[in-house]
Each structure stands twice: as C-alpha cells, then as structure tokens.
Structure 1
Amino acid sequence: MTATEAAGGADTAAEDPVRPGRREDLRQLIRYALVGGSGVALDLVSFLLLFNVLGLDEQVANVISTSLGITNNFVLNAIFTFDKRDRLFVRFLRFYAVGLTGIVLTYVLFHIFTGGLGIDANIVKAGSLPLVLATQFVLNRKWSFG
C-alpha cells in the first residue's frame, strides 16, 4: 500500500492507464529526435558537400543527402526507437515513402525561398529540417512502425 492509499486517497500513478503510455510516447519521441539528429547531421553534411564542393544542383543534392539520412534513420529507428525487426522491407518502403514527404516539402521550400526570394540554399535546407522532422515523426509512428 502506498502512502497515498493509506491516507485514503487513490494511487494515481497505478490507476492512470494513460500515464505509462505517455512516458513511452515521450521516450520514443526523445529517441526519435536523437536518431533524427544523426540523420540530420548526415543529411546536412552530405548536402553541403554535394552542393558546395561537388557543385550539384540543390535539388539533386537534396534527394541524395535526404536518402542517406532516411536510410540511416530507418536502421536506427527500427532497432532503438520502435524496436521493430519484422517485415523490414515493407517498413523500409513505408519509411522511405514518408521520407519522400520531406524531399517534397524541402523542394517546395527551395522553390519559394531560394528560387523566389533568393535566400541561400544552405539556409533553406537547415531551416526546413525541424518542420520535416515533426511531420515525419507523426507519419512514421503511425504508418511505418505502427
């Protein structure tokens, strides 16, 4: 018996079935963000090299760098975030499809901010990452690893 129960009250932690789920949701979000950070770093460094050093078009550099980040994140999320090792090929296809939303979103942002407003592609790429991360977390949790 807990001190709260002895005093005549309810032990809210034991009776609240949502609370443990919220903790797991928070843990998953934190792990997803950490994994995402490694993918973002790989994506951004790859983009900077492909665009600034090799001189590839920003759209081509974005597709390649994002694909590297997606692959990195799939492997790490399957193992560490969602602990799913079944149907890996199907999950990867779904994860990559979600990743394509990030490519499309960044494409639109490049079009608007780099093409239309003349803002440096490096800044647009870096600025797009938080929006892409949030969108993809929701989609991946529900569809790729749900």
Structure 2
Amino acid sequence: MQFLLYCICGGIGVSTDYAIYYLAFTNGMWYQGANALGYLAGTLMSFTLNRVFTFGMRDRVLQRLFLFLAVAAVGFAASALLLYALVQWLQVDPRIAKLLTLPMVVVLQFSLNRRITFNSAGAKAT
C-alpha cells in the first residue's frame, strides 16, 4: 500500500517534472538543463505530498527535506546518466528518453527514501 501511495504522490511529482522538462526543452533549453529544472520542481512536489500522505511524517521537516534532496541528488545523477546514454549513444528523442528514465528512478528513490528520509527510527536517532 505504501508503494502505491508513493507512486501516486510521485506520479504527481513526475508529471510536474515532465511538464516543466517538456516545456523548457521545446522552448529551446538544453535537454540536461531542462531535466534539472523539471527534476527540482518535481522533487519538491513529491516531497511535500509523500511526507504527509505516504509516510505520514510531519516532524523534522527541514531535516527530512535535506535527506529527500540528498536522495533526489542520487536520483538526478542516475536520471542524467541514463538520459545522456539514451540521447547520445542510442539516439533516442530527448522527450521519449526522459520518459524511459522515470520508472527506474522512481524505484531507486522509493527504496532510498523509505530507508533514509522517512525512516522514523533513524530520524529520531539523529
């Protein structure tokens, strides 16, 4: 059930990410720059929704945001590398390549956020 909620909240974040990416890219921004802009917006949206709805955490907001952003940095690195490989090596259209990276990054970030960011025992210990 928790993964389903994560996917729903994350879906809203991913939709935000892709919408901003698509608009920025189609308006002339370099695909990696558009990826960074969309990823940041989607990450902030996802944090807000997942903190409250998926993991039910209302404490230590700044600490959890920092951890979420650290996990997002790992996810962004994975996203950027996958995007680069798809666009540069496999010649996939950047709009399609971005879509292909999303499922892999979602699973990676769920695992890390569940273990690190929204682990109530770990957050209380620090």
TM-score (norm 2): 0.91
Q: Look up the match of 1:8.
A: none
- From 74, 82, 91, the equivalent of 2:47 is 74
Partners in 1 of 2:84 and 2:22 — Cα distance? 18
Q: Look up the match of 1:124.
A: 97
Partners in 1 of 2:90 and 2:8 — Cα distance? 32
1:53-132 mapped onto 2 (5 Å cutoff): 53=27, 55-132=28-105
- Give the aligned residue type for 1:135: L
Q: Which runs of 4+ in 1 moved over 6 A?
A: none
How much does 1:103 deviate?
1.2
Q: Look up the match of 2:122.
A: none
How much does 1:109 deviate?
1.3
Structure 1 gap segments, 5+ residues each: 1-26
How much does 1:83 deviate?
0.6
Aligned length: 119
What do you get for the CA RMSD once the two structures are aligned? 0.8
- Give the aligned residue type for 1:39: G
Q: Secondary structure at the match of 1:129?
A: helix
Q: Which structure is larger by alpha-carbon Rg, 1 or 2?
A: 1
- From 26, 34, 42, the equivalent of 2:16 is 42
Partners in 1 of 2:16 and 2:32 — Cα distance? 17
Q: Secondary structure at the match of 2:56?
A: coil
- Give the aligned residue type for 1:34: I
Instruction: Select the structure with the greater relative contact order (CA < 8 A; seq sep ≥ 6).
Output: 2
Does the alignment pair 1:28 with 2:2?
Answer: yes
How much does 1:135 deviate?
0.4
Structure 2 gap segments, 5+ residues each: 120-126
Partners in 1 of 2:51 and 2:85 — Cα distance? 34
Q: Secondary structure at the match of 1:85?
A: coil
Partners in 2 of 1:73 and 1:126 — Cα distance? 17
Partners in 1 of 2:91 and 2:4 — Cα distance? 35
- Give the aligned residue type for 1:80: F
Identity of aligned residues (%): 35
Q: Is the 8 A contact 2:83 2:101 kept in 1?
A: no
How much does 1:117 deviate?
2.2
Q: Secondary structure at the match of 2:15?
A: helix
